[in-house]
Each structure stands twice: as C-alpha cells, then as structure tokens.
Amino acid sequence: MAHAVKKLFPDVKLAIGPAIQDGFYYDFDIAKTFTPEDLALIEKEMAAIIKQDSPFVKKNLSKKDALSMFEKMGELYKVELLNDLPDETVTIYEEGGFFDLCRGPHLASTGNIAAFKLLSVAGAYWRGNEKNKMLQRIYGTAFNNSKDLKKYLDFLEEVKKRDHRRLGKELDLFSINDEIGSGLVLWHPNGAIIRKTIEDFWRNEHLKADYKLLYTPHIAKLELWRQSGHLDYYRENMYSPMEIEGVDYELKPMNCPFHLSVYKSNLRSYRNLPIRYAELGTVYRYERSGVLHGLLRVRGFTQDDAHIFCRKDQVEEEIMRVLDFTLFMLRTFGFESYDVYLSTRPEKFVGSPENWEISTNALKMALEAKGLRYMIDPGEGVFYGPKIDVKVKDSLGRSWQCSTIQVDFNNPERFDITYRGTDGREHRPIMIHRALMGSLERFFGVLIEHYAGAFPLWLSPVQLSALTIAERHDAYAEKIVSELSRQGIRVELDADSEKIGNKIRKSSVRKIPYSVIIGDKEVDDNKVTVRRRNGENIGPFTLDELTSFLFEEINSRR
C-alpha cells in the first residue's frame, strides 16, 4: 500500500505501517485529503504491484547507512524512528524499487497476496501525541482468498449497522454534544429508562448479596489522591486541580479512597468482616480526544464499583463469590461467552513483591477452584495489585472488557485501616476492588451493539405500543394503555390519524418488542391482537392474559 501511495503521490512522506488484529494501516503526511476515489486508485495500483510478483528482499544496513539513505529520500519520519532505535544494525525490505524500514518477516513476493481491501481513512497524530502533526491513516485488510475477504467485509457491514453511535441517535438513547464537552454523555429519556432498569436490578442484586450501598462526592481534596497513590501513578489520567478556599481539590478518578474512609469511620472487629461496599459512582478521567469513541471511551462515566474488606483467610472465598456474581450478572444481560485473564505485576507498582505473590496466588486459586479456564496477561495488573479481567463476547463474537477483580494490599496500608482480631490486636484487612459491568456507559454501548438496538423486553424503553386502526377505537385503547401503565408496563399509545401499516412500521423501526393492534373486532371481543417486532402475530389476548404474558417474559429477563 505504501508503495502504491508513493507512486501515485510522490510528495507523500511515509510514517509507520504495522499489521493489526484485523488487517493493517499506514500513516501518511500529505497536503491533500484522501478521498474514496483516491482509495480506489490506490487499490488499482496495489493490484498492479501484486501482478508484478516482485520479491521482498531483506537487507541489513548499519544505522548510519540507513539514516543516510532515508535522509536523501526526504523521509523525515523514518529518520526520527531510526534515531530512536538503540540498534546499530537495522533491516530494510525492498520490492520493485521501493524501500521501507521494517523488522519483517514478509511473504516471499507481492504475488502471494490473494485478496485485499482498503477500508477507510482516519486522522492520527504522529506517535499518538496530540502535540504532533496530524497524519492520515489508511486502514486495510487482506485474506488468503476472496471468499474469506467477502465474509469479513459482510461482518464489517453488520458492525456498521450495529454501531451504538448510529443506533443511539436513531433510537434517541443518548448524545454527546461538543457545546457541553467531548466524552461527556447526555442520557435521553429512552436511554435513561434503560439505565434506571439496569441500576435497579444492580442495586437489588447487591442488597441480596449482602453489600451495603454508598454514595460519595464527585470531588475531594488533592491530598486524598496523594495518599491513595493516584498522584504518583495515575496523574496523566487526572484533571487539573481546582482551588477552593485556598485548598486544592480534584475531580475523582476513582471511588476507592471514599470507601476506605467509610471503613475507617468506625472501629472494626474480625466478626464484622467481610464488609462489602458498593456504589454506582461517577468518576472523571482525562482521555485524549483522539481516543474518545461514543460511549466506549468517555471522560465522565459511572462505575459499578465495589470494595470488599476481608481477612487473609477470607480472600479466596470472596473472590469466588465475586466470580459467581460476575457471571450471573453477565448472563442476565445475554452474554454467555467470555474469556478470562489473570493480569500480573506491572513494571511500575507499589507494595512488596511478597504481597503481590500472595495476591496473585489467591486469584489463581479462586479461578481454579471455580473451574474457569484463564490466560495470563503478564505485566497488565494495576499499580496496586494483580487482577482478573473478564472479557465478554457479543453476538458477533467480538471481545469487550467489562468485569474486573483486583486484590489490594497497598491502600489498606496507605490509609492505615485495621480490624481487631481474636487476639485483641489490630490487624490489616485485605481490600478487593471489583466491577461487574465496568462502566454503565461502556456497558450500555456494548449492549446496544450486542442486541443491535433490539433490547429484550425487560430492558426496552418502550415495551409495548398500542396502535389504533381508527379514531373510534381510541377510547378502548386508552383504557388498555392506562391499565398496563398502572401495572408498570412501559406502554405508548399511537392514535395518530395514519394508516395502521405506517404505525406498525414506526413501531418496528423503533424496535419496540410488542405492538397491540386495536380495531372493531378487538373492541367487540374485549381483546387485543398482539404483534411481535419480528412480524409474528400472537393472541388474541384479554387484558389479564396480556399482562400475565408480558410479566412472565419481563421477570425471566430473557
């Protein structure tokens, strides 16, 4: 691709072009903006290069000679990359007179490339730093044959149809407004009622599981974040402090220090442990504008957060309880497939290696006791402890990071929290951080794409629409709507003077699970005809039969 772009646009400067999970990209510095027509031209040129079947030839050069070569070519980005390399010898690859800096390996020749497609163009800062120049990134993909390529392109079309940003607008669920700020979400009534349903379920299940609910402030003194270690290890994700009456305060990036403060507000005995605090706590983290993405990457979000304070002998059992709770929660929302990762000590960490080993072993033993297969993710633990991550797979087979369980020896020491043991002495509890859904915003975005906006009945913002055929049916319809609404069904009446076919289409576009059609027969029989959103007619039902039918499905959460 880089060769083709260079042939078509000789003044272009080449940056980097790595392989990625589902294809590849290359960053270019060019005065013009690439258009879809340009991509078509580049594809045509790529096909010509493939047809030439030029061999990929690996060459070893001294760093000095490579610098000289790329300087003469005017490839300033390659020169910068070379200057940052510690190696004295580097490799370049050549095909058909085109040279590029690359570690390799490559195919034997360009003719081995069977099927490819350029997908899109996006802006990308050089080296991901927004202080650097904005480049143009062309994304592409390649496969062993045309059949596999077509299958992947069809998959991308389905991904596009399910894009939560598009569906969020079409179904009036949420918006993000530049006048308010990038990465800050406005929940519209339809989205807000789904959020309320999720939150009500979440709180009720936590109360059943013997958690105590908390509410904590959105800001705190900067000193709190110094004590927790966030200022030293998390500063780049925090906002600038605000001064209030001569004291610096900080928007909270985490809920943990508040929960520690609640624990510390009373004397604790070994008999009190474990103590489980849970909060739907809104936090604020600085994310670069280039990585913000709808609901999936935002700057203000609500974590389904909880912290468990327990004795060392209780850690493994508590982790197993959390694993059970996690899988129950994910399955309730329709996620049956997932991958489990155990993330170990990162390069930058707090606490002793001994405590890290104890924590990591506790997580391992809990996973093995529950019979869960897991993979090691080396060095990806948080700065205060190792963690278990559960990545769910959606209906398209894509993985999403949601649930996390983290063991923390560090913060109990930093905040000097204790409990009175059986020996009458003070002991240090272990702290377990956990989130089942991650953040409500991200989880909601994943749910939208998982269900393609067609939520199950219990989550749907409108569960049933009543559609009248003529004005004379309105009174009966209003009676139906009033009774269903009184019993807690989210129902709407469409009594507009439109044809019934248009009303059915509107209900279908809005992905409302059920519609009731009300005409002369329904009024005469004191019943309703029920239509699923897939077009299937069921019933007829009396009002009591309809209510019973709906509540059975709502309560099953299927």
The distance between the two most distant Cα atoms of the chain, rounded to a whole number of Å, is 92
DSSP-derived secondary structure letter, 230 = H
**Among residues 164, 299, 433, 527, which one is catalytic?**
433
Going along the chain from its start, the domains and CATH numbers come out as 2-145 (3.30.980.10), 170-216+255-451 (3.30.930.10), 464-556 (3.40.50.800)
By DSSP bridging, strand 514-518 and strand 57-62 are: unpaired
Helices 474-486 and 543-556, axial angle in degrees (round to 10)? 40
**Among residues 27, 195, 230, 303, which one is catalytic?**
303
Let me know if 558 is exposed, middle or buried by CB neighbors in 10 A (0-12, 13-18, 19+).
exposed
324 in catalytic set: no
Let me know if 461 is exposed, middle or buried by CB neighbors in 10 A (0-12, 13-18, 19+).
buried
256 in catalytic set: yes
The pair of three-digit structure tokens given for residue 89, joined into one six-digit string: 């010898």
433 in catalytic set: yes
How far CA 534 is from CA of 75, 197, 509, 527, 537, in Å, comes to 57, 24, 11, 21, 9
pLDDT at 493: 95
What are the tens digits of pLDDT across the range 90-121?
Answer: 999 999 999 999 988 999 999 999 999 999 99
d(CA 120, CA 25): 10
Q: Which of 545, 539, 554, 556 is nearest to 480 (CA)?
A: 545
**Among residues 276, 307, 450, 503, which one is catalytic?**
307
d(CA 388, CA 368): 12
Q: Which of 91, 107, 116 is nearest to 1 (CA)?
A: 116
Strands, E assignment, 113-170: 115-125, 134-143
Enumerate the H helices of 249-307 as residue ranges.
Answer: 256-264
Cross-strand bridge partners of residue 221: 249
Determine contact, residues 390/366, Cβ cutoff 8 Å: no
Question: Is 250 in a helix, a strand, or coil?
Answer: strand
Determine contact, residues 334/456, Cβ cutoff 8 Å: yes
Determine contact, residues 290/125, Cβ cutoff 8 Å: yes
d(CA 64, CA 81): 13
Count of CB atoms within 10 A of residue 12's CB?
A: 19
102 in catalytic set: no
CA angle 460, 461, 464 (to 5 degrees): 75
Low-confidence ranges of the chain (pLDDT < 50): none
Determine contact, residues 412/307, Cβ cutoff 8 Å: no
The pair of three-digit structure tokens given for residue 541, joined into one six-digit string: 């039902």
pLDDT at 456: 97
218 in catalytic set: no
Determine contact, residues 56/108, Cβ cutoff 8 Å: yes
By DSSP bridging, strand 375-377 and strand 337-343 are: parallel
Enumerate the H helices of 21-132 as residue ranges.
Answer: 36-52, 63-73, 76-84
d(CA 453, CA 456): 9
Residue with tokens 């927004």: 130
d(CA 169, CA 42): 34
**Among residues 162, 256, 402, 406, which one is catalytic?**
256
Determine contact, residues 443/402, Cβ cutoff 8 Å: yes
**Among residues 206, 345, 387, 442, which one is catalytic?**
387
The pair of three-digit structure tokens given for residue 509, joined into one six-digit string: 């576009």
Residue with tokens 């990929």: 56
DSSP-derived secondary structure letter, 297 = B
What single letter denotes the amino acid at residue 23?
G
**Among residues 230, 276, 285, 434, which one is catalytic?**
285
Q: Which of 123, 144, 145, 138 is nearest to 42 (CA)?
A: 138
72 in catalytic set: no
pTM, 2 dp: 0.90
pLDDT at 29: 96
Q: What is the CA radius of gyration of the chain?
A: 29
pLDDT at 53: 94
Helices 440-451 and 189-208, axial angle in degrees (round to 10)? 110
Phi/psi at 115 (5° precision): -150, 130
Question: Is 527 in a helix, a strand, or coil?
Answer: coil
pLDDT at 558: 86
387 in catalytic set: yes
The pair of three-digit structure tokens given for residue 358, joined into one six-digit string: 């104890």
pLDDT at 382: 81
